Amino acid sequence: MGSSSNTNTSGGASDKEEKKKEDKIKGKDSSGPSFKENERVLAYHGPLLYEAKVQRIENHEDEWRYFVHYLGWNKNWDEWVANDRLLELTEENVRKQQELDKNQVVDKTMKSGRSTQHKPKVSNADAKADKDDTKSLMKGKKRKSQLGTEFPLPLKKQLVDDWEFVTQMGKLVKLPRSPTVDDILKKYLEHRAKKDGKINDSYAEILKGLRCYFDKALPAMLLYKKERDQYAEEVKGDVSPSTVYGAEHLLRLFVKLPELLASVNMEEDALNKLQLKLLDVLKFLQKNQITFFTSAYDGSCKGADEDKTK
């Protein structure tokens, strides 16, 4: 009590280190920006945490702000946030994210609008500046994605569970899956034919394109790092991924589709019609969720097995 830093240098240094560590956990660091451009972080949006990527940084009136993109979400959700909205992507903070998910399984925040609970206080001038910055970033990409805004909530939960099984528990989907992506798309075409009273050529063409997208996108952007060895073992020669993988990985493609479709050279009206049809496929996945998706991830990845033997 009352001792100066001169008489207790080690204690003062220790206190400073603790304060710095505490500030870092909270996302605050007075010496400079706490996060770097292109760094992956966890960001509060409403009551939940989402994985995000820092795209831009700026210092506004001695306060660091970060323009973040929520991974797996349409770019319309990109926004400027302050330090108190961000956390480092650490195991401890990932556990915190999972606890929040369990406490509130259904996240209505993304669909109903921004929550003010974790929003930093900004002046009217700041708000206008944020809006202008967002407009400049979005220039030329004003297309609204119905896939991003109308993603069924049960399938969002499916994605979270899928991520947890693979990245946190070291479990993989047993391959080959049944039904495969090919099987699911054929079942959907049969479903549409029965509903429309005929085979719709436009749907058949779209499903053909979706299958092609899946085969190309899977090794490039749909696999977690722990799944790559399994892919190398299962997909060889002329084997198509769509004949090996199932609903779990097809669902990951739908998360990426808004980003992929944003660069497609297509008339607005045609694009909207395409998105409606893809959304119908997504709803078909939800309707058959129990049948199409595996209830247990049994295959262990090599990394997990090696860790256990050490």
Predicted confidence at residue 179, as pLDDT, reads 96
d(CA 108, CA 101): 12
Strand order in the sheet with 63-70: 79-82, 63-70, 48-60, 40-45, 86-88
pLDDT-based confidence at 135, cuts 50/70/90? very low
99: left (phi over 0), alpha (psi -120 to 50) or beta: alpha
Find, among 224, 257, 218, the residue nearest to 241 by Cα: 218
pLDDT of 114 over the 50 cut:
no
Using an 8 Å Cβ cutoff, are 115 and 46 in contact? Answer: yes
Mean pLDDT, the chain, as a whole number?
76
pLDDT of 105 over the 80 cut:
no
Element (H, E) at 221: none
pLDDT tens across 225-281, in order?
999 999 999 999 999 999 999 999 999 999 888 877 777 777 888 888 888 899 999
Using an 8 Å Cβ cutoff, are 42 and 97 in contact? Answer: yes
Predicted confidence at residue 120, as pLDDT, reads 39
End-to-end Cα distance, the chain: 47
pLDDT tens across 38-92, in order?
999 999 887 788 889 999 999 888 889 999 998 877 777 888 888 889 999 999 9
Predicted confidence at residue 16, as pLDDT, reads 46
Predicted confidence at residue 5, as pLDDT, reads 35
pTM (predicted TM-score):
0.54
Tokens coding 54: 């820092």
Tokens coding 287: 């309707």
pLDDT of 31 over the 80 cut:
no
Tokens coding 257: 């589709």
Q: Give the 3-state DSSP-derived string for 222-264, with helices as H, strands as E and coil as C.
A: HCCHHHHHHHHHHCCCCCCHHHCCCHHHHHHHHHHHHHHHCCC
Q: Which residues contact 50 (CB under 8 A, 6 or more apart)?
A: 42, 43, 70, 71, 73, 97
* Most confident range, picked from 3-17, 23-37, 177-191, 283-297: 177-191
Find, among 41, 9, 3, 5, the residue nearest to 24 by Cα: 41
pLDDT tens across 136-182, in order?
333 334 445 556 557 788 898 898 889 888 888 889 999 999 999 99
Predicted confidence at residue 289, as pLDDT, reads 94
Predicted confidence at residue 201, as pLDDT, reads 83
The least confident of 30-34, 123-127, 172-176 is 123-127
pLDDT of 303 over the 70 cut:
no
pLDDT of 9 over the 50 cut:
no
